[in-house]
Amino acid sequence: GENVEQHPSTLSVQEGDSAVIKCTYSDSASNYFPWYKQELGKRPQLIIDIRSNVGEKKDQRIAVTLNKTAKHFSLHITETQPEDSAVYFCAASRARGNKLVFGAGTILRVKS
Amino acid sequence: SAVISQKPSRDICQRGTSLTIQCQVDSQVTMMFWYRQQPGQSLTLIATANQGSEATYESGFVIDKFPISRPNLTFSTLTVSNMSPEDSSIYLCSVVDRVGEKLFFGSGTQLSVL
């Protein structure tokens, strides 16, 4: 089955700097890659997603890139703010609407 | 996106007992899943709740321990049976929004087993 690895497990950045979180997946049939943000005590929230026919997608300060050949995808957050501090999870599935396999998560701390 | 209500939001239970968690969605959805999030960990899929038929369980999860019902397209329950402290986790129902085919989560049930 699918296996998703996520790095780093923790990431500390200064406010205003960029943050990058990377994931690799094992199932070459996976073609949908969402990212979730989970604040302490709250449910995971979908922040951005990408399909395999697209190499990059942006939404304001966040972007996701996908390298299907290498089977890895990354989350980029620019101009980080303290409210970006949370746990971020990447995930993969064979199709939108199908079950997701999640990475282990990255704790992002933005220091002001 | 769909509004997903889950209850109870938290509970403290004695070992050996069972707890049923309810998940109610404000619109009909095709796909509904149950996930577990152990303390400080990632999200692990327990099963896919199938409307009108038996749930599809992932490796490591069995129906006797986690029976699931899904009587219609807006409601599902997950029961955690014969609980032990190792079952202490957050249990989350999730649904695929028909509009966007994206996965959204309920507010979760934080379970502590003593």
Smallest CA–CA distance, residue B96 to chain A, in Å, is: 6
Q: Do B33 and A99 touch (CB under 8 A)?
A: yes
**Range of weakest confidence among A10-24, A70-84, A87-101:** A87-101
- Which one of B23, B56, B103 makes the best mutation probe of the A interface by having the most chain A beta carbons within 10 Å? B103
What pLDDT sits at residue A87? 98
What token pair was written down for B57? 């369980």
Q: Do A101 and B45 touch (CB under 8 A)?
A: yes
What pLDDT sits at residue B38? 96
* Nearest by Cα to B44 from B35, B56, B52, B53: B35
**Position A70 pLDDT exceeds 70:** yes
Average per-residue pLDDT in chain B?
94
* Nearest by Cα to B108 from B88, B94, B96, B90: B90
* Residue B70: HSE in the Cβ half-sphere, 13 Å Cα cutoff: 24
**Position B104 pLDDT exceeds 70:** yes
Secondary structure in 3-state letters for chain A: CCCEEEECCEEEEECCCCEEEEEEECCCCCCEEEEEEECCCCCCEEEEEEECCCCEEEECCEEEEEECCCCEEEEEECCCCHHHCEEEEEEEECCCCCCCEECCCEEEEEEC
Amino acid at B32: M
Over the stretch A33-61, which tens digit does the pLDDT of each residue have? Answer: 999 999 999 999 999 999 988 899 999 99
Within a 10 A sphere around the Cβ of A87, how many other Cβ atoms?
Answer: 19
Smallest CA–CA distance, residue B84 to chain A, in Å, is: 23
Interface of B with A (CB under 8 A): 30-31, 33, 41-45, 48, 59, 92, 96, 100-108
Cα B77 to Cα B32: distance, rounded to the nearest angstrom: 11
Cα B10 to Cα B32: distance, rounded to the nearest angstrom: 21
Q: Do A43 and B106 touch (CB under 8 A)?
A: yes
Nearest chain B residue to A106 by CA distance is: B42
What pLDDT sits at residue A99? 86
**Position A86 pLDDT exceeds 70:** yes
